[in-house]
Amino acid sequence: MTKASIDNASRPAGFLTFTLHAHLPYVVNHGTWPHGLEWLHEAAAETYLPLLRVLKNLERDHIRFNCNLNLSPILLEQLSHPVFLAEFPHYLTRKIVAAREDEAFFLQSGDNHLAETARFWQRFFSQALEDFNHFDRDLIAAFRHFNDTGLIDIITCGATHGYMPLLGTDESVRAQIRTAVDTHVRHIGKAPRGIWAPECGYRPAGSWSYPVSNADGTPTPPAFNRIGVEQALSESGLEFFFVDTHLVEESRRTSSPYDQPGDHKAQSHEEALQPHQAHRSLYQPYYVDGPYNKDHATTIFPRDPRTGLQVWSGDTGYPGDNIYLDFHKKRWPGGHRYWRVTGSRVDMNDKQPYYPHEAGERTKAHASHFVHLVYEALKSGFNDTIPPILCSPFDAELFGHWWFEGPLWLEAVARNLHEYESGIQLISCADYLDQYPRAGFIAMPEGSWGSEGNNQVWLNPETSWTYTHIYPAEIYTRDVCTAGLWRTSALGLRIMQQLCRELLLLESSDWQFLITTGAARDYAEIRFLTHNDQFNEVKAIWQTFESNGAITETGQTRLTEIELRDSIFPDIDPALWVSGASETRPDQPTLLPVATAV
């Protein structure tokens, strides 16, 4: 038997890679309940700590998970913030007390089952408090441990989740990414290899025009040739990101600079639209084509649509199963949930009691079903020279917060693949790229994983007004950073750093998303206007400094207040916004060549 045949015999027939996108907008010092810090507390208790318990269980039992976990930079800043660290134990204590009060009420009412469910919530939040203290109140260090042991690969995101297809300057795109990388290194201890492009938003290089006019009355800038997302990522040493299905299905395969001369023949338009063999189009990574340095080409992994719908859909997916915990019906004042889904169209008053043990058992059947779906999706490529990979990306908060049993389901999938021979193995994207070549180069259209696959969730008649403020703020920041006066004194640097912080917070795509969906429209509008007002206040303070070399006592006081409120990215570098900044790429090894055949 040859070495190649031995390697093929021991190699999995296919791979599954989970990507969990953990992100919340900046809520510290900006409200508590119902919107604000409560969101962070809920996510930490219901998603992040349960996920850490899953990782701890799998590590104990020597079971692979190897998922890509994005901890967004602004989430890292919040999980390490003194306000969160001080308030989270109080939140957990309130939840425990509320569950005890619920138990007493149900016992008095003679409802023993709901009283037992109240005891379940007592145990759940007591466990969360115990785990938080066990991790020395440092969730980031806990995740970093599993990153260092290889059970997960922590990747990054835009600094404040800025939606890159609609950002108004190349410098803003680069600063979102480079600030993200710097923040990741500070918290995780090493540079990320991959990134979750916010909202899976992608834009190619090319001519672009501002879609709205400026609210401040300044002239709308002319169209310009902007860089593609792939170039900004490559310049920051990032190797891969994720895109939605349709961007690959609508893509055009291009010639590879790594192919030998004469390897290509002329393609018809129809042939060019087929990135690779039909059965592999979504189950392989690709280099992204574009006018940038392809010695360090960036890679994309496409999202698999069928398995994705099965996991996140509340109507046809697992979370909508009748036996799982209903997200919407809560008992006040404690906010605990005691009822199961019962049925997608069942009235709130008719929801039936929740049975935690039965729901936990149901995750095992759904995990087995999911593995079968992955097998069916990949099996046509099992005999290919390069094994296929199925990419399943989700918002991390789906697991635990929205779908309470979700973390148990993730653990059940890992255990199923460990215990039963399916030929499929879990792997991180970075590990896959270290072992196997890309399928080729593709040129993609602009798009996202939002409704209709385009930009409409973030730019529509309800949100377009936000961009009339964002664009002039981006251009002003680029201009004053480029002028360089801030470099001449500590005060100038301090003012400009806060201006950059407020711009980043203004650019968060969460505000437009919450406005469009109506989930928390009033809060999102207030938050956007708050950061816009604070940007303009800092701008006025800067202009005083620009004229006088100093600022007033009132300006000093206000600057300090804004700094304390939005104390993120302590080492933020205004040089990232200088015109043409960040074009120099960190030293990285050249990527592997592409696959020549399957």
Active-site positions? 199, 395
Residue type, 348: M
Q: Which residues contact 346 (CB under 8 A, 6 or more apart)?
A: none
φ/ψ bin of 410: left (φ > 0), alpha (ψ from -120 to 50), beta (otherwise): alpha
Instruction: Name the token pair of 584.
Output: 């120099």
**CA-closest candidate to residue 472, choices 207, 179, 219:** 219
What is the rounded CA–CA span in Å between residue 583 and residue 365?
50
| DSSP letter assigned to residue 45 | I
**CA-closest candidate to residue 182, choices 569, 510, 588, 513:** 569
510 is annotated as contributing to ligand binding: yes
What is the rounded CA–CA span in Å between residue 539 and residue 119?
53
What is the rounded CA–CA span in Å between residue 305 and residue 195?
20
Number of alpha helices (DSSP H) and beta strands (DSSP E) in the chain: 20, 13
150 is annotated as contributing to ligand binding: no
Torsion of Cα atoms, 552 then 553 then 559 then 564, to 10° = 170
Tell me whether the omega of the peptide bond preceding residue 305 falls within 30 degrees of 0, making it cis.
no
Please, are residues 151 and 65 in contact by the beta-carbon 8 Å criterion? yes
Task: Give the N- to C-terminal CA distance of the chain in Å, as an integer.
Answer: 22
3-state secondary structure 262-293: CCCCCCCHHHHCCCCCHHHCCCCCEEECCCCC
C-alpha 564, offset from chain centre: 26
Would you list the DSSP string of 170-184?
HHHHHHHHHHHHHHH
Please, are residues 17 and 303 in contact by the beta-carbon 8 Å criterion? no
Per-position b or e across 37-59, b if 16+ CB within 10 A of its CB = bbbbbbbbbbbbbbbbbbbbebe
Please, are residues 360 and 372 in contact by the beta-carbon 8 Å criterion? no
320 is annotated as contributing to ligand binding: yes
Instruction: Name the token pair of 362.
Output: 């149901």
Q: Cβ of 134: how many Cβ atoms within 10 Å? A: 12
- E strands, 283-351, are 286-288, 299-302
**Phi, then psi, of 525 in degrees rounded to 5:** -65, -40
**CA-closest candidate to residue 587, choices 235, 240, 248:** 235
What is the rounded CA–CA span in Å between residue 297 and residue 286?
10
Annotated binding site: 303, 320, 449, 510
Annotated binding site for substrate: 303, 320, 449, 510
